[in-house]
């Protein structure tokens, strides 16, 4: 699934068998981004350093957070591994797992000048 948001307008498309096809302007599926962990953590948190590595040419430090969180009325043990650039201190990647879910978010193009022209909506 791809989602593009420019200012307040969002478009999405699903490139999979049975998907709706071209870019859609309405009924965009909600996307949950990792929330503030201090709002969902229940109990103790175990924090440790992971191995330093390189992601797409950027040297990063890894940190590992193991925690217990409450989501949708269920308690889930989770793990988040943020990777932070050693030179910039900016996030480069965050990998979160809990229950049967796994999410990887990459962060890049900090400070890049971009001009996004949204694709046309079907019928519009």
* pLDDT tens string 32-56: 555 555 565 666 789 999 999 999 9
Spatial contact of 83 and 61, defined as CB atoms under 8 Å apart: yes
Residue 3, SS3 per DSSP:
strand
Alpha-helix runs per DSSP H in the chain: 37-40
In 7-100, DSSP assigns E strands to: 9-13, 46-49, 53-55, 58-71, 74-85, 91-98
Nearest to 52 by CA among 42, 43, 62: 62
* pLDDT tens string 51-108: 999 999 999 999 999 988 776 677 778 899 999 999 999 999 999 998 788 899 999 8
d(CA 99, CA 58): 30
Domain segments of the chain as ranges: 33-110
Spatial contact of 34 and 42, defined as CB atoms under 8 Å apart: no
| Position 29 pLDDT exceeds 80 | no
pLDDT tier at 26, thresholds 50, 70, 90? low
Give the number of residues written for the chain: 124
Q: Which two tokens stand for residue 98?
A: 């809990």
Strand partners, 2: 13
Q: What are phi and psi of 38, to 5 degrees?
A: -70, -15
């Amino acid at each position: 699934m791809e989602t593009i948001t420019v200012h307040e307008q969002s478009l999405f498309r699903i490139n999979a068998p049975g998907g709706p096809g071209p870019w859609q302007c309405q009924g965009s599926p909600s996307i949950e981004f990792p929330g503030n962990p201090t709002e969902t953590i229940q109990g103790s948190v175990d924090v440790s350093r992971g191995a330093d590595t390189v992601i797409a040419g950027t040297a990063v430090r890894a940190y590992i957070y193991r925690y217990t969180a409450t989501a949708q009325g269920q308690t889930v043990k989770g793990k988040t591994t943020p990777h932070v650039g050693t030179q910039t201190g900016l996030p480069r990647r965050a990998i979160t797992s809990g229950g049967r879910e796994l999410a990887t978010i990459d962060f890049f193009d900090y400070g890049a000048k971009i001009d996004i022209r949204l694709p046309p909506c079907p019928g519009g």
